[in-house]
Amino acid sequence: MFTKILIANRGEIACRVILTARKMGIKTVAVYSDADKDARHVALADEAVNIGPAPSRDSYLQAEKIIAACKQTGAQAVHPGYGFLSENAGFAKRVEEEGITFIGPKHYSIAAMGDKIESKKLASASGVNCIPGVNDAIETAEKAVEIAKGIGYPVMIKASAGGGGKGLRVAFNDKEAREGFTSCRNEARNSFGDDRVFIEKFVEEPRHIEIQLIGDSHGNVIYLNERECSIQRRHQKVIEEAPSPFITEATRKAMGEQAVLLAKAVKYQSAGTVEFVVGKDQSFYFLEMNTRLQVEHPVTECITGLDLVELMIRVAAGEKLPLTQAEVKRDGWAIECRINAEDPFRSFLPSTGRLVRFQPPRETMFAADTEHLFGVRVDTGVQDGGEIPMYYDSMIAKLIVHGKDRLDAIGKMREALNSFVIRGVSSNIPFQAALLAHPKFVAGDFNTGFIAENYAQGFRAEDVPHNDSDFLVALAAYVNRRLLGRAAGISGQLPGHGVTVSEEFVVVGLGAVGNNTTHPVLVRDFEAESGSSSVETGGKRYEICSRWHLGGARIRGTVNGQPFAAQVERGVGRNPLALRLNHNGTRLDALVLSPRAAQLHALMPYKAPPDMSRFVLSPMPGLLVEVAVQVGQKVQAGERVAVIEAMKMENVLFAVADGVVGKILAARGESLSVDQPIVEFA
């Protein structure tokens, strides 16, 4: 067994590998870029080596620097995590040539299966069902359009070295095929250093189901059940679960056995995943093989009770697999939500900056721990006060729950999301909560088009139905009463001028529940010591009890005897007196006023925000990589104006109306903030 390994990665996966290595008594070496010098994985490792500037092409994609770090520290093996160099056959070969063990498959397996074009050819030759398409690299946008027409729209344009939704576009017409080809090549070149692109038929209404494999150097390969990964947004997974609520036992067995045959054909060693597109009739087609550990591996760990990182390390050290196919368990139901730094209310644009507050829910399961299951686990590479840089992908954390069945897991996940506090950057937690509450998701009735179909106009706070919106109103009044109670108890107040608190309030909804809707509320039997109160609104009565710390972002307690968790903020939007409450994905912005103050508030004039329609604004923080217009140029609606790059994704800004360019307000290469003007129309 190794005594020291180097993790050639960053973020949560680097932390995840370190925890298993620590459990096994193996010393760890972290590598880091200039942007990650204070990152969590650097603090967790026994040693750390700086490998260059912030952009990944200058640091985490520099194979020679990583090999030099191994030699410098005496690391005997490299774990590549996922992304970066994890599926780079050349890197795996170089590592092996230097006498260092690559904790992953052999380079020839990566070359055969990690490359999406070559793996398609090999799978087809092996008699595996493949989706119609052209598996050779395409050189020009014109050729891409020609091929797309031949296959028939819609088509999927994919980077050969792609992954994680990078370098992938779906095109429904010639224009989208041409633009998608160009964007795919650019993203692939920047993210993976390989700009080869191919095209295949896009199967509509598909399920995305994958089989987890593990193989050893003694010729043994077993499959560890499947993962359901159909809940995707723009081809990037959002929620994963194991097992799938869709496939039958017979389909599971057939997919597993086919995946094993494919792996044995390339003498596969280590953890890997064979991905399939599954039709309504349970027919399945080979999609690709990921020759690495997957982001969503924790859900498989939960239902099998296995530590996949430990198995990878043991296999790399030459050990045999410790179990047979017949011994693989499938116990309970696990769900993983990817918590990303993106704003769901602004078209999911990336959100970078400092984590002012990072308070995950209470964990009862832990990475690298196979003893404590049926609980809540958080895998993350960040911490309170940490930075979310713009150079890497947007993942903040992975939230994993394990329940006795699917409904139990959904309930645990909704409760955990309610307790997950992130401030300073926006996160997709409200969107995750909305997905989990959707009747079709709960019923298991979905495919990869679920998000596009149900949130076609984007995601808005008011789109999330709450099963009891009066509870949010009651909770706002309760929180306000607690704050007033403290104000009334402050000593030294002038006689006759102290804070007095009545039982009557009016909650004025400013946001999701309805603009300026009013809700009369009675707050009775308030007890400061116990934190209990009786709140009446909308003809309902809520007995609320909580030990909430005033000013805390998370409020836990009971309502009518049932436990609840919600989040509360003061001073949101343009009103310092407003409260913001979040519960089950629903957000309420509200003022809690006395009846007289509510009457006066209704008379206040509305102050309209300034008209910014003449400007093209940056919708997110990012790097301005292109300004496609010039001063004096006539621009038509839908024409390309600028391109912003953030978190390894290109975002193209288009003109929303015809006009003439008056001023260029930002230069190429400039780092932009949210809503910073780029172009002004005359």
State how far the Cα of 361 lies from the Cα of 554, in Å rounded to an integer. Answer: 10
Out of 288, 336, 342, 645, pick the active-site residue. Answer: 288
Q: Do residues 272 and 223 touch, judged by C-beta distance below 8 A?
A: no
Q: Is the peptide bond before 243 cis (omega within 30 degrees of 0)?
A: yes
Q: Do residues 409 and 401 touch, judged by C-beta distance below 8 A?
A: yes
State how far the Cα of 284 lies from the Cα of 204, in Å rounded to an integer. Answer: 13
Q: Which two tokens stand for residue 594?
A: 């006395």
Q: Please count the other Cβ atoms lying within 10 Å of the Cβ belonging to residue 540.
A: 13
User: CB neighbours of 143 closer than 8 A, spacing ≥ 6?
Assistant: none
Q: Do residues 216 and 678 touch, judged by C-beta distance below 8 A?
A: no
Q: Do residues 21 and 317 touch, judged by C-beta distance below 8 A?
A: no
State how far the Cα of 433 lies from the Cα of 300, in Å rounded to an integer. Answer: 22
Helix (H, G, I), strand (E, B), or coil: what is residue 36?
helix
State how far the Cα of 435 lies from the Cα of 238, in Å rounded to an integer. Answer: 10
Helix (H, G, I), strand (E, B), or coil: what is residue 353?
strand
**Is 288 known to be catalytic?**
yes
Q: Do residues 475 and 566 touch, judged by C-beta distance below 8 A?
A: yes
Q: Is the peptide bond before 154 cis (omega within 30 degrees of 0)?
A: yes
| CA 142 to mean position of chain CA atoms | 34
- Catalytic residue numbers read 288
